[in-house]
Homo-oligomer: A and B are copies of this chain.
Amino acid sequence: MAIAADVKANQKENVSPNGMEVLMDLVSDDLKAVNALIMKHMQSNVVLIPQLAGHLIAAGGKRLRPLLTLASSRLCGYQGDRHFGLAACIEFIHTATLLHDDVVDESDLRRGRDTANAIFGNKPSVLVGDFLFSRAFQLMSRDSSLEVIRILSDASAIIAEGEVQQLMTTNDLETNREAYLEVISGKTAILFAASCRLGAVVAERPKVEEEALENYGQYLGIAFQLVDDILDYSAKQAALGKTVGDDFREGKMTLPIILAYERANDEEKVFWTRVIEKLDQSDGDLDTALTLLAKHNALEDSMTTAREYVTKAISALDIFPDSIEKSALIGAVEFSIERDF
């Protein structure tokens, strides 16, 4: 119960008053049901499992994907309760990917974040991720259909492919915008897309609505990740006391870096090669990087790309008549680019 209360507090704290409020208000009772299922099904007799899973699940989760499933189901007029279990499964899959994403290699720089991994170590994080992932499919095999399992296992495979592709593009300055968009479509957007699509699936709506919600989720996910990658270099983050430059220290090829490198002069290319490709960084390099990003409008132009996806996401909802649910989903999109965390 204490954990559930913390979740609530965290959510309230983290949510922008503009964009997300309609969505949060709309499904707040449904979200309680989902949170109860999450707490129930992450239990295990092996005590380290709920302990470690709880660390991540209870801490600051925005429950964005479950919220999308809940709102999409309502948009499609769904009256049952299958979407609660599905939303919990989606959060388990998401949590598993977070746990696995935090796995580090000995050569990696320790990140400042208070990850489950930093506390419990690589191996428990991996295994608890596996547990949550398996648990999701256990629940689906009892409460859902083969179609739902198809959608979420497809999404999971694409997430893994996106994550591996991201590893392959890290430290590679030849990575272009297309490769970057492919990576974030896989590692982030596909689960947003599935979260939304499942609303139409449980409501047994026509394919065209399923696809509209899938597109909405896909574009929203891309915008969301773009903003994430921009915020990593943003003064807003610094003002909030958050770490700036995590991606820089790993040599991740996100859109701001791709744009700055495309527009770099010879001297700047030497700099990027040293810090991103060779990962040979010292004090002051992050400041230099920030200066170059500003010089070439890399953050603003990345934001323009994010806004293009925001427009596409909102347009995808055109086939649905106006409703409070539709406004809530549009609000979520606006939140994705207005947020400063």
In the bound complex, residues from chain B placing their C-beta under 8 Å from that of A46 are 161, 164-165, 168
Q: What residues of chain B lie closer than 8 Å to A137, measured between beta carbons? A: 137, 149, 153, 156
Q: Which residue of B lies closest to A108 (CB)?
A: B123
Copies of this chain in its oligomeric complex: 2
Chain B residues with CB under 8 Å of A168's CB are: 46-48
**Which of chain A's residues 113-135 have a Cβ closer than 8 Å to chain B?**
121-124, 126-128, 130-131, 133-135
Residues of chain B contacted by A133 (CB below 8 angstroms): 130, 133, 156
Beta-carbon nearest neighbor of A151 in chain B: B141
Main secondary structure of the interface of A (DSSP, over half): helix
Interface centre among A49, A100, A103, A123 (most CB of B within 10 A): A123
Chain A interface size range: 35 or more
* Cβ-neighbour of A131 out of B104, B135, B164 (below 8 A): B164
Smallest CB–CB gap between A298 and chain B, Å?
27
| Interface check A142, CB cutoff 8 A | yes
- Binary flags per residue of A87-127, CB closer than 8 Å to B gives 1, else 0: 00000000011001001111100000000000001111011
Instruction: Check: A154 CB closer than 8 A to any chain B CB.
Output: yes
Give chain A's interface residues, CB within 8 Å of chain B: 44-49, 96-97, 100, 103-107, 121-124, 126-128, 130-131, 133-135, 137-138, 140-142, 145-146, 149-150, 153-154, 156-157, 159-161, 163-165, 167-168
